Amino acid sequence: MWSRNSVQCGKKLIVAITANTSWYIYNFRKNTIIALLKEGYEVIVFSPEDAYTDKIKALGCHFKNLEIDRGGKNIIKDVKAIWNFYMFYKKNEIAIALNFTPKNNIYSTIAASYSNVKIINNIAGLGAVFVKNSFLTFILKKLYKFSQKKASFVFFQNKEDKFLFDKAGIKISEFDILPGSGVDLKRFTPCEAPDNGIVVFALMARLLIEKGIIEYALSARELKIKYKEKVRFLLIGYIDEKTRRSITKEQIKLWVDEGSIEYLGGTDNIELIIKKVDCVVLPSFYREGVPKSLLEAAALGKPIVTTNNVGCRETVDDGLSGYLCEPKSVTDLKEKMEMIITHSHQERVTMGMNGRKKMESCFDENIVIDKYLKAIKKLCN
């Protein structure tokens, strides 16, 4: 039966969900789509076609291909992206659009303002560019200032990003703070690593320099020399060949060949790997929202070593569920990882379960979905 809030004049209200990859929508917003469909909304996903497009369609929603250059700086392509959004809203009776990822937050909002479509944006971290003093930063702030005042509602994933918006004079009508993207506590359930005398670390992320991949590899090299076969260091993630900030295949091969890193590539079943590790590491110095990989690791009952950095520090109670280290410091990262090594197996398990409790109380994905459903119903009414 249709929800009364999702029906208008006998028709289902149409909710659009946009992002710069279908991979993102399927891996981060699948349960949001399912919840919207259960509430009686019609859902159209507007994102570039990729290997996850068919999986999105299988959820029961519609799909439209979006042409957008997610990492480029070509003005002509960006203007074309705004036009693509405008035509999408003109041809489809969209009541409200949920935007994710930076260019979508900006360009979709601009286009929607000329199409009588209400907008909910999600600011999932502002990246490295936003805090630099460069011409690109100047342009980016101007675009945010022009576009976000046209949004109906804006979700932030941490309070520091909202503070940066205020500092930059970026005005928004209504906002709320989310616990990141949340984590699916039914999918990610605690599992102890084998108590076999080998401490296994894992870093799972997009393989960008700002994620601290190099610092992790350098720490692994030194710890491997000291502890030899008693430690293992896994690296999991896709190489983003479209950006110059990506770690290269050649660099990863060097680490693998010297025996410090084991590279597993990307995976859609990360929980199957992480269940067998003792600790998850993310030495990011990127302006994160709240890293999904850390939420998933904590939900699986794994202690975390991450940086005392925006977005990352929110996931850890330092000394209880993991350790915080200084960004860009190989020395401090290695020291915190060594503390994990020298803990007993049971001490690591206890830290991991402390993290699980934190996920249950603060980062349940249902909290995020519920906030979205309430915002949509309020705006549609």
Structure confidence by residue, pLDDT tens digits, 334-350: 999 999 999 999 999 99
Within 10 A of 173 (CB to CB), how many other CB atoms are there? 11
**Which residue do the tokens 């928004």 mark?**
172
Within 10 A of 187 (CB to CB), how many other CB atoms are there? 12
pLDDT digits (tens, 9 = 90+) for 212-257: 999 999 999 999 999 999 999 999 998 877 777 899 999 999 999 9
pLDDT digits (tens, 9 = 90+) for 2-36: 343 444 444 789 999 999 999 999 999 999 999 99
CA distance 27 to 295: 13
CA 257 to chain CA centroid, Å, is 30
Residue spans of beta strands (DSSP E) within the chain = 7-8, 11-12, 14-18, 42-47, 62-65, 94-100, 118-123, 153-156, 175-177, 199-204, 231-236, 262-265, 279-282, 304-307, 322-325
- DSSP labels, 226-289: HHGGGEEEEEE----TTSTTBPPHHHHHHHHHHTS-EEEE--S-HHHHHTT-SEEEE---S--S
Residue spans of beta strands (DSSP E) within 144-257 = 153-156, 175-177, 199-204, 231-236
How high is the pLDDT of residue 288?
Answer: 84
Assign residue 328 a region (left: φ > 0; alpha: ψ between -120 and 50; beta: otherwise).
Answer: left
Query: What are 12's strand-pairing partners?
Result: 7
Query: What are 202's strand-pairing partners?
Result: 234, 280
